[in-house]
Amino acid sequence: MDMSTIIVPVVSLGGMGLLFGAGLAYASQKFAVEVDPRVTAISEALPGANCGGCGFPGCGGFANAVVDGKAPVNGCPVGGAECANKIAEIMGVSAGEGVKKVARVICNGTHSNCKEKFEYIGIQDCKAAAMLAGGSKGCQYGCLGLGTCVNVCPFDAIEITDEGIARIIPEKCTSCGKCVEACPKNVIDIVPYEQDVVIDCNNKERGKGVKDNCSVGCIGCQICVKACPFGAITFENNLAKIDYDKCTNCMLCAEKCPTKAIYANFENRKKATIDEENCIGCTICKKQCPVDAIEGELKQPHKVLEDKCIGCGACVAKCPKKVIEMK
């Protein structure tokens, strides 16, 4: 075989490649664009998932926006405080503590709790299922549990339980909001990570409409509104809503809710304790307590009744001597 059939093409193409390469190398120096070094530094500090959770097109877009002053340094919901601090350092400002938020499926309509209208056999996707008479669930507002959110979650933070409901793992969730967008039932909400009390129902119908289909739905009885000592619960479209700024995680509402539609993490419930040596017996805490869990006479050290205390922290906020602690 004639070697030139190989050598000639290799040399000619290679030569062209070299020539163009050299030309481009020269051009890249001549037309070099100075990029703000902060943009590169911020891009490196970001998680790089390009999820778009910040509202900018990808991490690069966010980095540019931060440098331009159009985005806050803690604007990345994924990177969290650590990432915000790094960016703040690059930009030379302080980040301020952002509250970590997580997504939560506000529905507890498991197979045992919520009736099915019919058996759905079709594409295993909530959007497809929702098009067929609003899905197989008796409740029109509940989680269909076919995993559309699982598929869009870039962080592997959602799973479908055996009971047919999507559950979000708060530790993995970065509140990027992709599942919120993807859910055809709008049953995913963003709540603060530290929040221990959440209304686990999305049903906006009146009491009977809820009760006929689901045993754990919000029936709009408003008992929680009356039970809340802090006025943190309001009603909107027959559905209870917690104002997370006012809520103190006292969990009284969850105790009173007749259908158990309010989720509360009772294990996290705190108790107030008064440092009796430093208590001056001003009785302010006694007056503040919504459940009369503090006893004591004027000018005598006060005491917290452990079994009555709901851990709302109202006394801590008002104590003039700062001798009450939550444990």
Q: Is residue 122 near another protein by the rule CB under 8 A?
A: no
Site stretch for another protein (CB under 8 A), options 25-33, 43-51, 73-81, 104-112: 25-33
> Is residue 16 within the footprint of another protein (CB under 8 A)?
yes
Using CB under 8 A as the binding rule, whether residue 131 contacts another protein is answered as: no
Contacting range for another protein; rule: CB under 8 A; set: 31-39, 207-215, 263-271, 301-309: 31-39
Nearer to another protein, 19 or 133 (CB): 19
In 194-323, DSSP assigns E strands to 197-199, 233-236, 239-242, 262-264, 272-274, 294-295, 303-304
What Cα–Cα distance (Å) separates residue 204 from each residue in 9, 106, 235, 289, 316? 73, 12, 10, 33, 36
Instruction: For residue 46, give both structure tokens.
Output: 């970001």
- Tell the residue number behind the tokens 């290799």, with chain if given: 10
At residue 129's C-alpha, the angle toward residues 125 and 133, to 5°, is 170
CB nearer another protein, residue 24 or residue 93 = 24
User: 136 with 114: CB under 8 angstroms?
Assistant: no
Closest CA to 288 of 259, 322, 319, 321: 319
Closer residue to another protein (CB): 20 or 118: 20
Q: Which of 1, 3, 33, 121 binds another protein (CB under 8 A)?
A: 33
Interacting span for another protein (CB under 8 A) from 8-16, 37-45, 66-74, 75-83: 8-16
Member of 2, 3, 31, 258 binding another protein (CB under 8 A): 31
Nearer to another protein, 28 or 237 (CB): 28
Q: Of residues 12, 40, 186, 237, which one binds another protein by CB under 8 A?
A: 12
Q: Other CB atoms closer than 10 Å to residue 11's CB: what's the count?
A: 11
SS3 145: coil
The minimum distance between CB 63 and another protein, in angstroms, equals 14
CA distance 80 to 272: 30
Task: Return residues touching another protein (CB under 8 A).
Answer: 8-9, 12-13, 16-17, 20-21, 23-24, 27-28, 31-33
